[in-house]
Structure 1
Amino acid sequence: MIDELQKRSELRRKAILTERQQQKQIQESNKNPEENAELFTKNFNEQIKLIEEAVSKKETFLNSTLKLKTGYLNNIDSEIKKLITLLSESTLFIPRYDQQTSQRKIESFIEIHQNLRSELIPKKRFKFKSRKKLPTRSQKNGKQTEFGKEKEKEKEKEKEKEEEKEKKEKTNQTKKNKSTNNDGNNENSISFKDLTNEQKLLNREQCLDRDIFLSNLKNCKLSIPVLLSSLKIDRIYDSVICVGPVKGSIHLESCENCVFFLASQQIRIHDANNCKFYLYASSSPIIETSSNVGFSPYNFSYPNLKNDLLECNFDKSSNQWDNVKDFNWLRSSKSPNWYIIDEKKRESKIIEK
């Protein structure tokens, strides 16, 4: 009995020490939001791999016992909950786009888990036993009045109307949810999509302090010499994009053979190949699954640039354009996926009016 109490006391002591260490790590990581965001991405991706590995073992449980199937499903459910907890504890220091992407990934895993449960432990179909209808008083007497028939018809019509109303409400809610999640679909957003061989110079009245979404542009030249709220770039090819300072974050994905002039507090680059980036970045630019990408200081100029930089509290002396972090290169040596553009080969873009 005494040994058992000592064991419990020791376990309790170790749990308290572990919790204190975790709290200390969280406090230390909060001192540097950039490192915290990198740590979140690393841990989130590792957790995703664990879940994907577990899901891939489905075949081995198809013909196993109910107990083994239940344990397998519970294990996946537990790993998904860890993913949810990790995201909820990190929302203060990761960009909004990353939050939405991570949330969609979690939702996909939840759906996969539900499908696995349906496949491994299908529910038995429930059937209602047929009951004989109790005869109404009018039927007992062998007479059913026309008034009673009309009443029943009215009730059926009302029921059909209620069901139709519920369907419409569900459909409207689904459409509303979809529109909320779509990029460039709110009142403060402007989208430029599906353009080829276009040249555009946008003015302050069109874009000042707006959310900009650029998607599927080919062989285009686009200049936005104005302060923006946020910027998302997706599927841009053989193009030149020049943008004024961005108050929020910039997220770029799936671009090839392009030149970008960008300024922001945080810049995330995914799936970029053979591109050049002229940057102002308050924190380290982050690249992932990218190759042959070059970096140089921000070299885009227009009449109101100084005021726009001041409004964002951007200080050119603290530009971290060359402190690039490659999430696919975890070694201490420099990543081979990016390079610094030679000074003699650097470009500049100037808008005088």
Structure 2
Amino acid sequence: MDTLTDQTNKLNLLTNREIERQLNLQKKKDDKGTLLPNNEKLDFFERMLAEKQNYIEEMISIAKSVPKIELSNHFNEISKEILTLQKYVAASNIFLRNYDLKKCQYILQELTSKSKRLEDELLPKKKFSFKNKLKENSQMKNSENKEKYDEVDFVAKNLLVKNVCGLFNKNNETLSMTNSDIFKKDITLEKLENCRVFLRGSASTLHLDKLRNCTVFSGPVSTSIFAENCENCTLVIACQQLRLHSSIKTNIYLHVTSRAIMEDCKEIGFAPYNWKYEGVEDDFRNASLDIATNNWTCIDDFNWLNEKHSPNWKEIDEKDRIENWDEIY
């Protein structure tokens, strides 16, 4: 009887151990099943990230072989691809680890910086500057060389005056340019402080750099507006695409038919474009901008990967918006 009891106890012990072993195996299987989807998602994400990164880098690498007339659109396409990749990262942050997010942010910043450096190289901002004339005591050069120099210098200056238009190094002034001044030209406003600027007409591009305590009114720009280093400014602008860099405490009354992209900016406010002047409808047509399409709330912040709203910009409350500029200026 004792022998039978012992055998029964041993059998129960072995059975319990087997049951425990099976339960542990099942638990491991369940745990693996739970983790598998995320692992698969991560593998797929990494493959897609690598493919997209390689594609953007290839676009950057071929930029030097793109005809100059097409370069602006080419870099706009690169910006769109980087933006798409940024959104993909933001949408995937549910299953990404902190390490993965930091790695992605580094990749995005590198792609953006690489593209911007190359764009600055291939499409440099035009500066309104002339070379100083040769001093009269440069008599060591023979007359033939001097004549050649004078001829080339004269042509270069004429081309510069013809193609470049802008306002530079102004303080406490009200400045104005008409359509005859800016039509289809690249306009640059640089190093302005405490100024009011009125650009009535349709320029090709608009560059704003180092503006402080300024208000800028611009008619529709047919391509892009590039603004950087703006502080405590108000910009009333219309364009196909806005790119804003390194700016702070600036309100933008915007009409944009594509998107607005910002980077390294803080305390930026947006509201819809509302500057009215005689001929503005004609300027919209000349700039090929749809006056009925305004994506002023479509702001992409390259410093903010989260799906939540970026803390670097906001919509200006309706009660705080300026509705009639004529009453102020």
Q: Which amino acid aligns with 1:233?
A: L
CA–CA distance in structure 1, aligned partners of residues 108 and 177 of structure 2: 38
C-alpha separation between the residues in 1 aligned to 2:111 and 2:302? 16
What's the % identity of the aligned pairs?
Answer: 27
Determine the C-alpha separation between the residues in 1 that align with 2:163 and 2:172.
27
Q: Aligned pairs, how many?
A: 218
Which residue of structure 2 aligns with residue 101 of structure 1?
Answer: 120
Determine the C-alpha separation between the residues in 2 that align with 1:103 and 1:314: 26
Q: Structure 1's 36 and 229: CA in aligned 2 closer, same or farther, altered over 3 A?
A: same
Contact 2:82 2:112 in 1 (8 A): no
Deviation per residue, 1:260-294 (Å, 9 max, x gap)? 01111110000110000001111120111000000
Partners of 1:104 and 1:314 in 2: CA distance? 23
Residue by residue over 1:160-217, the C-alpha shift from the partner in whole angstroms, topping out at 9 and shown as x without a partner, is xxxx89xx89xx8xx99xx89xxx9562211211100000222222222221110010
* Distance in 2 of aligned mates of 1:344 and 1:197: 29
SS of 2:304's equivalent? coil
Q: Which residue of 2 aligns with 1:72?
A: none
1:36 to 69, 81, 85: 81
Matched to 2:83, the amino acid is E
Partner SS state of residue 321, structure 1? coil
Q: Secondary structure at the match of 1:35?
A: helix
Q: TM-score with structure 1 length normalisation? A: 0.53
After superposition, the C-alpha distances for 1:8-46 in whole angstroms (9 at most, x for unaligned) are xxxxxxxxxx9xx959x959x99x946325369975733
Could you tell me the TM-score, scaled by structure 2's length? 0.56
User: Using a 3 Å threshold, how does the CA distance of structure 1 residues 298 and 226 change in structure 2: closer, same or farther?
Assistant: same
Secondary structure at the counterpart of residue 318 of structure 1 = coil
Residue 253, structure 1, aligned to residue 228, structure 2: yes
Matched residues in 1 for 2:112 and 2:220: separation? 34
Indicate the residue corresponding to 1:292 in structure 2. 267
Secondary structure in structure 2 of the residue aligned to 1:347:
coil
1:279 aligns with 2:254: yes
Shift of 1:230: 0.9
> Is residue 46 from structure 1 mapped to residue 106 from structure 2 by the alignment?
no
Give yes or no for contact 2:212–2:233 (8 Å, CA) kept in 1.
yes
Deviation digits for residues 61-120 of structure 1, max 9, x if unmatched?
xxxxxxxxxxxxxxxxxxxxxx6xxx6xxxxxxxxx764326699xxxxxxxxxxxxxxx
Q: Is the 8 A contact 1:302 1:350 kept in 2?
A: no
Shift of 1:312: 2.5
1: CA distance between counterparts of 2:320 and 2:112? 41
Note closer, same or farther for the CA distance 1:253–1:300 as it changes in structure 2 (3 Å cut): same
Matched with 1:319 is 294
CA contact (8 A) 1:301 1:351 kept: no
1:122 maps to which residue?
none
Whole-Å separation in 2 of the counterparts to 1:40 and 1:104: 24
**RMSD in angstroms over aligned alpha carbons?**
4.0
Q: Distance in 1 between matches of 2:210 and 2:237?
A: 16
**One of 310, 314, 317 as aligned partner of 1:342:** 317
Equivalent residue in structure 1 for 2:213, among 214, 223, 238: 238
- Residue type at the aligned position of 1:205: S
1:269 partner letter: L
By relative contact order (CA 8 Å, sep 6+), the higher-ranking structure is 2
Gaps of 5+ in 1: 1-17, 50-82, 88-96, 106-163
Q: Which residue number in structure 1 is paired with residue 42 of structure 2? A: none
**CA separation in 1, counterparts of 2:203 and 2:122?**
26
Task: Say which SS state the counterpart of residue 319 (structure 1) adopts.
Answer: coil
Distance 1:233 1:197 in 2: 17
Partners of 2:254 and 2:271 within 8 A in 1: yes
1:216 and 1:234 in contact (8 A); partners too: yes
Please point out which of 200, 203, 207 is paired with 1:228: 203
1:302–1:351 Cα contact (<8 Å) kept:
no
Q: In structure 2, how many angstroms separate the alpha carbons of the residues matched to 1:214 and 1:187? A: 17
Equivalent residue number for residue 33 of structure 2: none
The equivalent of 1:189 in structure 2 is: 164
Maintained 8 Å contact 2:83/2:300: no
What letter corresponds to residue 120 of structure 2 in structure 1? Answer: T
Q: SS of the counterpart of 2:189?
A: strand
